[in-house]
Homo-oligomer: A and B are copies of this chain.
Amino acid sequence: MAYDFLLKDLQSNLTQKAIGTDKGLAKIGDGVVNLVYSVAKSMHLTKTTNSKVIIRTGKNVSKTILAEALKEANMKPFSRSRADAHDLADTVEAIIAYVWLNGDITIKQLIVFLLEHLIGNLNNRTEEINSARVAFTKLLNHIKQYLPIC
């Protein structure tokens, strides 16, 4: 991508914490996460609903879901020590912004990945929370390959 210069300062001393605690990356990642989840959810609902109705929806992914996904992917070291759920969610957003800006994964690939791993009835709140948590955990495990090892 043409915008990896937005990462130049990080790349000079690239660590898990430098990525995971960057507030600007978290802000950009917040937009990426909500957009790709909204489209993946719309596609899943359209494909699984019995009628021929097309469903388009926007959805902010809850901080709790992202925080749980970070823990389940064993990636808490990317966050600051004594991080609360909000910090952990910011870390997920920062990581996703990092790999996207760096050109490791596209918006389309993020949507396709989530769609492949979203299951169940996303109109049911409990099922949606579980399904989103699992899908984001798998996404984090998938993008580990693009991240520093310490």
Residues of A within 8 A of B (CB): 1-3, 5-10, 22, 24-28, 30-32, 34-35, 38-39, 42-43, 46, 53-59, 97, 101, 107-108, 111-112
On chain B, the residues within 8 Å of A107 by CB distance are 107
Copies in the complex: 2
Q: Is B28's CB under 8 angstroms from A58's CB?
A: yes
Q: Is B22's CB under 8 angstroms from A28's CB?
A: no
Top-6 shortest CB links A-B: A27-B58, A24-B56, A31-B35, A9-B54, A31-B34, A107-B107
Alpha-carbon gap, A5 to B27, bound state (A): 30
A129 shortest CB reach to chain B, Å: 19
A22 shortest CB reach to chain B, Å: 7
Alpha-carbon gap, A12 to B6, bound state (A): 42
Q: Is B2's CB under 8 angstroms from A108's CB?
A: yes
Q: Is A5's CB under 8 angstroms from B108's CB?
A: no
On chain B, the residues within 8 Å of A2 by CB distance are 108, 112
